[in-house]
Amino acid sequence: MIIDCHIHFASAGCEYNETDVLQCLHLADRNGIDRMIYLFNLADSGGYDPQPGHIRKSNDLGMELVTRYPDRFISYCYLHPAHDPEFSLAEIDRCIVNGPMAGIKLWVAVNATDARLDPIMRRAAELRVPVLHHAWYKANGYAYNESTPKDIANLARRHPDVPIVMAHLAGGGVEGVYDIVDCPNVVVDTSGAQPIAGMVEFAIEHLGPDRVVFGSDWPLRDYAVQKARVTGAIHDPAVRDLVLGGNMRRILAASGKVSL
């Protein structure tokens, strides 16, 4: 089974759009991708500083995807840690405890070193669900409170019982891999930028084959190209199977929220 751990939608108003969904499924089928994890909506979801209404609508879209296509989509609960912790915890209860979502997504609203993430992370530990957090190293300025891989390592050390997926191997690069080497609760997804020769191999060599997972960042990136960065880099079928799906199956199985 191939699991893409990192996709978005771009439906206007965060509304369910069957045309968009069918396009996603068609492209996934063409590339042999079985399950996709929706993180948050790219359009009309409040930008870098989303308000509670935007967050709820984006999460509503994710829950509808899972409800309509339970064998194809998995969804994470998108949160903004600067809001009242009671809102975030209530949204986790709505979407994960009482809903079909299977993890938590954090983007750039609050840096990973900020203590305001801690109530969310403690709840993730209780529920045994993964947290996927955006990370990137940049030379031309960061977006809002954007986190670097070093910041993700800080978060991981504060919450060693939470499985963390650090997004964007290609965005963090070699330095990003080194940052998380001694954080066993962190895996890195393969998304970010265009494929860089040797990057996937480097991550596997330094983190081990059980700490790298496939992510495309569709529709910002193409399924075929992003999958090829994995299949073209890994020649051992057992390792390739771990990266393309086995590792995410293990991570998702811990909470019992997803049947794979």
pLDDT at residue number 158 = 98
258 within some domain: no
Per-residue pLDDT, averaged over 51-76, amounts to 97
In a domain, 216, yes or no: yes
Reported as half-sphere exposure (CB side, CA atoms, 13 A), residue 27 has a value of 18
Answer yes or no: are the C-beta atoms of 28 and 237 closer than 8 Å.
Answer: no
Is residue 1 a contact partner of residue 47, using CB atoms and an 8 Å limit? Answer: no
Q: Is residue 210 part of a domain?
A: yes
The partner residues of 74 in beta bridges, in order of sequence, read 37
Please tell me the predicted confidence (pLDDT) of residue 89.
98
Report if residue 218 sits inside a domain: yes
pLDDT at 194: 86
CA distances from 115 to 81, 82, 124 (A): 9, 10, 15
**Please, which residues bridge with residue 71 across strands?**
none
Beta bridge partners of 77: 104
CA 239 vs. chain centroid, Å, equals 20
Q: pLDDT of 207-251, one tens digit each?
A: 999 999 999 999 999 999 999 999 999 999 999 999 999 999 999
Q: Note whether residue 259 is domain-resident.
A: no
Within a domain: residue 260? no
The verdict on residue 199 lying in a domain is yes
Question: Which residue in 34, 25, 26 sits closest to 2, CA to CA?
Answer: 34
pLDDT recorded at residue 45: 81
Q: What is the pTM of this model?
A: 0.98
Higher pLDDT, 194 or 107: 107
Which residue range is the domain that position 242 belongs to?
Answer: 3-253
As for how many domains the chain has, the answer is 1
Question: Considering the chain, what is the average pLDDT of its residues?
Answer: 97
Cis peptide bond upstream of 50, omega within 30: no
- pLDDT per position as a tens digit, 139-186: 999 999 999 999 999 999 999 999 999 999 999 999 999 999 999 999
CA gap 234, 229 in Å, rounded: 9
Indicate which CATH number applies to the domain containing 94: 3.20.20.140
Residues 6+ apart with CB under 8 A from 191: 6, 167, 168, 169, 170, 171, 215, 216, 217, 221, 226
pLDDT value at position 12?
A: 87
Residue 36: predicted pLDDT: 98
Q: What is the DSSP string of 1-45?
A: --EEEEEEE--GGG---HHHHHHHHHHHHHTT--EEEEEEESSSS
| pLDDT for 44 | 82
Nearest to 213 by CA among 37, 89, 64, 47: 37
